[in-house]
Amino acid sequence: MRITAFRARLADEFGAQRADTIAHDHVFAALGGRTVDEALDAGLPTKDIWQAVCEAFEVPDERR
């Protein structure tokens, strides 16, 4: 998944403002103690980042 598609998906799921906050501020243990933005900068696959977000925020399977 491209980064632009990932960010669009994040905004669709959480709303634009909350998506930005999640990406900048929420630290995910599943991402090695990184935020979404840090994980993207580190080159982690967007699919893995999306799965970590979904797990942390209990996104239903049909929207993962």
Q: State how far the Cα of 50 lies from the Cα of 45, in Å rounded to an integer.
A: 9
Q: How many other β-carbons are positioned within 10 Å of the β-carbon of residue 57?
A: 12
Backbone torsion region of residue 58, taken as left when φ is above 0, otherwise alpha when ψ lies between -120 and 50, otherwise beta = left
Task: Give the total number of structural domains in the chain.
Answer: 1
What residue numbers bound the domain in which 41 lies? 3-58
**Model confidence at 7, in pLDDT bands (50, 70, 90)?**
very high
Asked whether residue 37 is assigned to any structural domain, the reply reads yes
Residue 40 domain flag: yes
Asked if residue 44 is part of any domain, the answer here is yes
Would residue 39 count as lying in a domain?
yes
3-class secondary structure, 51? helix
- For residue 23, being part of any structural domain is answered with yes
Residue at 42 is within a domain: yes
Give 26-42 pLDDT, tens digit per residue.
999 999 999 999 999 99
Q: Where residue 23 falls among pLDDT bands split at 50, 70, 90?
A: very high
The reply to whether 64 falls in a domain is no
- pLDDT, position 36: 99
